[in-house]
């Protein structure tokens, strides 16, 4: 009897493992795996730098200002507010799961997170500092020097090491265990009938051709407005800015749909606040499909199942400035 029972258990495990393997291999969206931290001290240092507004000219703007980890890694504004209340040129994408993308920025002009992290510090419309000044600020703080010495073997802070630490911290900002991922891994009860219907629509009409991989996006650059042009006042032209090829005009990196319910407003110009409208625009402009209200509701219900565990962080306490630390200039040079 005992033998039979264990056989039955083995068979049922075998069957469910088979179903898991099926979804995991056949579906084009893959689960997000939890971050594996191999360098905890570097992650901790990167987290401090991520939250440190002293990397900005004003002493007020940190990476977290525009990629707020309490709000899905975005700022929930159409375009960001930078130094001196500068109006940013483009919507701030979420940093959650950004390590999974083929490249960074809407036009992919940075190859990876490390290359990306140097950009905002020196961008006059963002943190408006420069690398030399940012390095001077961090170098003037003994506790930072001690941490850099522990992590990089030298107390001398460089922009290389600053961006490396930030990038390694960002690699931990993944969001596993969404209900959709539980379903992918075989838990049939993880999704409702409506959410499943939405996913079927998402696949059958072709959304998944562009929004695929673990991030449900981030795997390619695609035209915004395949069937019908996208109307916008935003001057960004996308990928052509990097390649110079006319064919890349208005191609943007396909954004991740992970946590999309948290990262409104949508599109590179942040023009759409409602997920329903964003889905309607996508269906018409990318696929030439007019979805009815029920179909849109279903797809939106599916998209909300892509919200995963948000990174749980304890706020870092930043080491204090010293008498030698260059002073912030919140209102311009005095």
Decide whether 117 or 182 has the Cβ nearer to ligand HEC.
117
Task: Taking each helix axis as running N to C, give the angle between helix 131-139 and helix 159-170, from 0 to 180 degrees, rounded to the nearest 10.
Answer: 90
Catalytic residue among 41, 44, 87, 126: 126
Nearest approach, Cβ of 325 to ligand HEC (angstroms)? 18
Under a CB-based contact definition with an 8 Å cutoff, are residues 221 and 71 in contact? Answer: no
Nearest approach, Cβ of 177 to ligand HEC (angstroms)? 21
Q: Peptide bond before 265: cis, by omega within 30 degrees of 0?
A: yes
Run of H or E including 301? helix 293-304
Residues that bind ligand HEC in the complex, under the rule CB under 6 A:
61, 63, 65-67, 80, 82, 88, 90, 92-93, 95, 98, 101, 104-106, 113, 116-117, 120-121, 126-127, 166, 202, 205-207, 209-211, 222, 224, 226, 252, 254-255, 257, 260, 263, 266-268, 278-279, 282-283, 286-287, 299
DSSP state of 221: E
Decide whether 95 or 184 has the Cβ nearer to ligand HEC.
95
Distance CA 71, CA 210 (A): 25
Nearest approach, Cβ of 278 to ligand HEC (angstroms)? 4
Nearest approach, Cβ of 279 to ligand HEC (angstroms)? 4
Decide whether 47 or 268 has the Cβ nearer to ligand HEC.
268
CA 159 from chain centre, in angstroms, equals 23
DSSP assignment of 132-155: HHHHHHHHT-HHHHHHHHHHHS-S
Q: Peptide bond before 222: cis, by omega within 30 degrees of 0?
A: no
Decide whether 8 or 85 has the Cβ nearer to ligand HEC.
85
Decide whether 240 or 287 has the Cβ nearer to ligand HEC.
287
10: Cβ contacts below 8 Å, ≥ 6 apart: none
Run of H or E including 14? helix 2-26
Q: 261 catalytic, yes or no?
A: no
Decide whether 197 or 282 has the Cβ nearer to ligand HEC.
282
Regarding beta strands 221-223 and 251-253, do their DSSP bridges make them parallel or antiparallel, or are they unpaired? antiparallel
Under a CB-based contact definition with an 8 Å cutoff, are residues 170 and 46 in contact? Answer: yes
Nearest approach, Cβ of 240 to ligand HEC (angstroms)? 13
Tokens 């030698």 identify what position? Answer: 324
Nearest approach, Cβ of 282 to ligand HEC (angstroms)? 4
Token pair of 28 as six digits: 């084009």
**227 phi, psi to nearest 5 deg:** -95, -35
**Any idea which residues carry the catalytic annotation?**
126
């Amino acid at each position: 009897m005992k033998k039979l029972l264990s056989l039955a258990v083995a068979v049922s495990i075998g069957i469910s493992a088979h179903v898991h393997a099926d979804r995991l291999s056949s579906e084009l969206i893959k689960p997000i795996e939890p971050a594996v931290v191999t360098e905890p001290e570097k992650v901790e240092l990167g987290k401090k730098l991520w939250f440190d507004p002293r990397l900005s000219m004003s002493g007020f703007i940190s990476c977290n200002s525009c990629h707020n980890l309490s709000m899905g890694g975005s700022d929930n504004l159409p375009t960001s507010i930078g130094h001196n209340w500068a109006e940013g040129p483009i919507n701030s994408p979420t940093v959650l799961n950004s390590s999974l993308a083929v490249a960074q920025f809407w036009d992919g002009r940075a190859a990876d997170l490390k290359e990306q992290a140097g950009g905002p510090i020196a961008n006059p419309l963002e943190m408006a500092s420069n690398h030399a000044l940012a390095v001077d600020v961090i170098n003037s703080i003994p506790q930072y020097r001690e941490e850099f010495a522990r992590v990089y073997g030298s107390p001398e802070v460089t922009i290389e090491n600053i961006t490396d630490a930030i990038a390694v911290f960002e690699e931990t900002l993944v969001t596993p265990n969404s209900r959709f991922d539980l379903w992918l891994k075989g838990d049939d009860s993880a999704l409702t009938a409506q959410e499943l219907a939405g996913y079927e629509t998402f696949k059958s009409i072709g959304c998944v051709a562009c929004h695929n991989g673990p991030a449900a996006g981030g795997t390619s650059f695609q035209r915004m407005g395949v069937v019908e042009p996208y109307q916008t006042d935003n001057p960004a032209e996308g990928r052509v800015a990097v390649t110079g090829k006319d064919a890349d005009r208005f191609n943007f990196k396909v954004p991740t749909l992970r946590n999309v319910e948290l990262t409104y407003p949508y599109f590179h110009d942040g023009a759409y606040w409602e997920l329903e409208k964003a889905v309607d625009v996508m269906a018409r402009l990318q696929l030439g499909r007019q979805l009815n209200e029920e179909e849109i509701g279903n797809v939106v219900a599916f998209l909300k199942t892509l919200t995963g565990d948000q990174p749980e962080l304890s706020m870092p306490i930043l080491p204090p400035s010293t008498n030698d630390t260059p002073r912030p200039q919140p209102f311009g040079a005095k």
